[in-house]
Amino acid sequence: MLPTPLHLIDGRRTPAADGRTFPVVNPADGQTISEVPLGGAAEARAAIEGAASAFPGWRDLPAHERARPLRALAEAMVRDQQRLAHLMTLEQGKPLAEARGEILYAASFLEWSAEEARRICGQVIPASSVEKRIVVLRQPVGVCLAITPWNFPAAMITRKVGPALACGCTMIVKPAEQTPLSALAIGELAMQVGIPQGVLNIITGDAPQIAAACFADPRVRKVTFTGSTDVGRVLVRQAADNLQRLTLELGGHAPFIVFEDADIDAALAGVMASKFRNSGQTCICANRLLVHRSIIEPFTARLAEHMRALKVGAGLEPGVTVGPLIDDAAVEKVESHVADAVERGAVVRVGGSRAMGTAMRCFLPTLLERCTPEMRCWCEETFGPVLPVASFETEDQAVAMANDTPYGLAAYFYTRDASRLMRVAERLEFGVIGANDALPSTAQAPFGGMKQSGWGREGGAFAIDAYTEIKYMSWRL
């Protein structure tokens, strides 16, 4: 067992007030890896005190001084990449190579934010009277709460911490119960590189209690959440009393369209990268494959070959490309989606069941053909390595099928026709469009969803909007 890490509250490493802990389990073998503090309302209140006391000092620092420890944290994560990646694979299950990649990706948000800190500017707007000037100021929102999911245990934290701290906000982070170790390890590095006391607080434990304590305190001015649409709705209701601002990065249900004029090799590589990364437990991963009727047979035949070549197993095993799902409930959900599809007439071309004799909770990469809109896998986020396929005949039909969902996070399409490329990109109702590109996420892009995939954008200069208040001064000379 790894030693029990402690909360980071107001610059101190602290256990839960009542000493309670909860286990962190390796999804590959079901073994307990560590215990972490079981925090609740008391820890949330202590973290709010710390973050509120630290806020004026942090806000008033020159931007380049706020940038320095952020950059140092990014560098520390890169230096510690191997250890952090190993810890992530232990608690989350993803293949080690992917975990290494996530540490670099996570560090890139801190690095980018450190640079952006210097460019958070106001504006002077010409007034309608010669005697007046309109001066626009951008100021930090204040104390923020970040609630993060388990699928990207490091990147979903730094995507919030980076811009929040760059803007001069202070933050409390509540990671998912399945992956608290990566969060607390980042907190430990933050202490080592000198992020000042109270500026970054990390508490693990009872999510509803921690969230309720933060929503009840009007000093918490913003809540930023990445997770499921259902929990997002709960948070919207809780924010009503104190009208705290919300950024919501919620579920997705990405269509992946392959037009008849696509570069087929590129489209195949794209589907594989988008669908099977993190065993399909990615909010932007391809959830529905739409292939033009004229190429569906040869395309799915080649896709099936690629899928059979994937290696399923524990994330620490060399060569594994598809790791276990996060917990038993996740495997049961994937199984139920496959069973429902088969019952309604889908045909299993590859996979279709749990993997036998490998790590626990592994599900075989699964290709489902002849899928129809009423199947659960075609209308809900599966969050597993299952790819349902259907055909279309016209561009209009493909776009209508793609948009036929309450979600609007990511969509992909492959074509070599430049006019079609622009036309389709404009008509897809999704916040992130991968046009001949299956890996669109990057620190400088404005990531986020439409419809029930959320509110607001994270990443790039757009993230600054989430953590700043805009104030204008009408100035009579």
Catalytically annotated residues: 249, 283
What is the 8-class DSSP label of residue 278? G
Q: How far apart are CA 89 and CA 390, in angstroms?
A: 34
Q: Between residues 211 and 322, which has the closer beta carbon with respect to ligand NAP?
A: 211
Among 116, 217, 381, 395, binds ligand NAP (CB under 6 A): 381
Nearest CA to 415 out of 259, 227, 233 is that of: 259
Tokens 């293949």 map to which residue? 95
Among 166, 207, 254, 411, binds ligand NAP (CB under 6 A): 207
Answer yes or no whether residue 177 interacts with ligand NAP by CB under 6 A: yes
- φ/ψ region of 280 (left if φ > 0, alpha if ψ in -120 to 50, else beta) reads left
Backbone phi and psi for residue 409, each to the nearest 5 degrees, phi listed first = -90, -70
Q: How far apart are CA 313 and CA 93, in angstroms?
A: 9
Tell me how many residues contact ligand NAP (CB under 6 A).
27
Stretch that binds ligand NAP, among 173-181, 186-194, 308-316, 371-379 (CB under 6 A): 173-181
- Cα 150 → chain centroid: 9
Answer yes or no whether residue 249 interacts with ligand NAP by CB under 6 A: yes
**Alpha carbon distance, N-terminus to C-terminus of the chain:** 68
> At closest approach, how far in Å is the CB of 441 from ligand NAP?
9
Q: Between residues 69 and 227, which has the closer beta carbon with respect to ligand NAP?
A: 227
Q: Between residues 66 and 253, which has the closer beta carbon with respect to ligand NAP?
A: 253
Nearest CA to 10 out of 215, 269, 187 is that of: 187
For every residue of 295-318, DSSP letters joined together read THHHHHHHHHHHHHT--BS-TTST
Among 141, 231, 290, 463, binds ligand NAP (CB under 6 A): 231
Q: How far apart are CA 170 and CA 392, in angstroms?
A: 49
Among 52, 176, 246, 267, binds ligand NAP (CB under 6 A): 176
> At closest approach, how far in Å is the CB of 410 from ligand NAP?
9
What is the 8-class DSSP label of residue 32? E
Site for ligand NAP in 139-168 (CB under 6 A): 147-152, 156
Answer yes or no whether residue 93 interacts with ligand NAP by CB under 6 A: no
Window 96-135: contact mask with ligand NAP (x via CB under 6 A):
----------------------------------------
Tokens 């600054």 map to which residue? 464
Window 387-426: contact mask with ligand NAP (x via CB under 6 A):
----------------------x-----------------
Q: How far apart are CA 281 and CA 275, in angstroms?
A: 9
Answer yes or no whether residue 244 interacts with ligand NAP by CB under 6 A: no
Among 283, 291, 312, 375, binds ligand NAP (CB under 6 A): 283
Burial class (CB in 10 A: 0-12, 13-18, 19+), 130: exposed
Neighbours of 372 (CB within 10 A): 12
Q: Between residues 139 and 444, which has the closer beta carbon with respect to ligand NAP?
A: 444
Stretch that binds ligand NAP, among 6-14, 126-134, 165-173, 205-213 (CB under 6 A): 205-213
**In this structure, are residues 220 and 143 in contact, taking their beta carbons and an 8 Å threshold?**
yes
Q: Between residues 209 and 403, which has the closer beta carbon with respect to ligand NAP?
A: 209
> At closest approach, how far in Å is the CB of 448 from ligand NAP?
7
Answer yes or no whether residue 228 interacts with ligand NAP by CB under 6 A: yes
Window 424-453: contact mask with ligand NAP (x via CB under 6 A):
-------------------------x----
Among 252, 270, 434, 460, binds ligand NAP (CB under 6 A): 252
Q: How far apart are CA 412 and CA 205, in angstroms?
A: 36
**In this structure, are residues 231 and 109 in contact, taking their beta carbons and an 8 Å threshold?**
no
Residue nearest to ligand NAP (CB): 227
CB-based burial, 166-200: b 16+ in 10 Å, e otherwise: bbbbbbbbbbbbbbbbbbbbbbbbbbebebbbbbb
Interacting residues with ligand NAP (CB under 6 A): 147-152, 156, 174, 176-177, 207-208, 211, 226-228, 231, 234, 249-252, 283, 381, 409, 449, 454
